[in-house]
Amino acid sequence: MRKDYYARFDGIVLFTRKYRENDLLIKIFTKEFGKRMFFIRNVQRANNGLREIAFPYLRANFVGRINDKGFSFLSDVGERHFPKTTIQNIEANAYAAYMVGLTDAAFEDFIPEDTLFDLLWQGLEKIEGGVDPTVVANIFEIQILPKFGVTPNFVSCAICGETQGNFDYSMKYAGVLCERHFHMDERRLHWSRRASYFIRMFSQIPYAKLGTVSLGQQTKSELRKALDMLYEEYVGIHLKSHHFISQMESFINPLDDKQEKTYDNS
């Protein structure tokens, strides 16, 4: 039986890692073959055309040899989307790093994940296109949850099915509760109104329909807090890139946002 084959495939570079003196490992999330580690020999050599693709968040059409075990190999790169803006902007870079980190953690290598591939591709495209990376990452964090084995109901009240009004999240019911049913769970997460409003919206919206969303710093912080609670409970992984995002948030002056009112969702 054949154990390897040449193929043309779309892929997203997740990360690169130096290997021995002159070689490089590149982890690529391929649409057809899942996540694979590719080996590039003599990457420093000037005539090595593959040098130009050794950047995280790069999206391209590749040609290479796919092995069923161990490393795979690249031989050519076709149409590519270089993440120029993403790499240059510290905030965009941080959120893109978090998204690829989650992708790497969410499921096993070698398994194709079409839906998630499209989600990451489009998300990175949005960030590169100048859409607020916080919003793009928040949508990604919410929509990737099923890959961690979690499918919370963000849309309708877990008790009565209500879809309008204010909501809060309940671990006990693995979904949102409408205001009338807040009393069903004393330990609901006490998300702010705005956080639950946007999380519900972000759980539904495809990137293709995402226009310009402008969120104030206060709203962003509330969303961060709410999503961190979900991740702590359901996912429990601690990525370096997430730590960096939290640190970055504390650099931002909250006074920039004083025109926003504070809502209490208790």
**Nearest residue (CB) to Zn ion, 56 versus 175:** 175
**Nearest residue (CB) to Zn ion, 138 versus 166:** 166
Q: Is 156 helix (H, G, I), strand (E, B) or coil?
A: coil
145 Cβ partners below 8 Å, 6+ apart? 151, 152, 230, 234, 235
From the list 114-122, 175-183, 232-240, 253-261, the region that binds Zn ion by CB under 5 A is 175-183
Q: Which residue has the tokens 């003599």?
A: 42
**Beta pairing class for 34-40 and 72-81:** parallel
Site for Zn ion in 142-161 (CB under 5 A): 157, 159-160
**Nearest residue (CB) to Zn ion, 168 versus 222:** 168
Cα–Cα distance list, 140 to 48, 143, 154, 174 (Å): 34, 5, 15, 19
Q: Angle at CA 82, nearest 5°, toward 76 and 85?
A: 170
The two three-digit tokens of residue 225, written as one number: 């807090």
**Nearest residue (CB) to Zn ion, 89 versus 203:** 203
**Beta pairing class for 4-19 and 72-81:** unpaired
**Nearest residue (CB) to Zn ion, 164 versus 250:** 164
Report the DSSP beta bridge partners of residue 80.
60
Among 35, 181, 194, 224, binds Zn ion (CB under 5 A): 181
End-to-end Cα, the chain, rounded Å:
63
Among 104, 162, 257, 260, binds Zn ion (CB under 5 A): 162
From the list 9-17, 170-178, 236-244, 255-263, the region that binds Zn ion by CB under 5 A is 170-178
The two three-digit tokens of residue 88, written as one number: 């240059």
**Nearest residue (CB) to Zn ion, 142 versus 157:** 157
CB of 178 to Zn ion, least distance (A): 3
Among 178, 199, 227, 235, binds Zn ion (CB under 5 A): 178
The two three-digit tokens of residue 168, written as one number: 């809060």
Dihedral angle, C-alpha 144, 145, 151, 155, nearest 10 °: -70
CB of 205 to Zn ion, least distance (A): 23
- Is position 179 an interface residue for Zn ion (rule: CB under 5 A)? no
| 153 secondary structure, DSSP code | B
**Nearest residue (CB) to Zn ion, 120 versus 157:** 157
Select the residue whose beta carbon is closest to Zn ion and give its number: 157
Q: Which residues bind Zn ion (CB under 5 A)?
A: 157, 159-160, 162, 178, 181
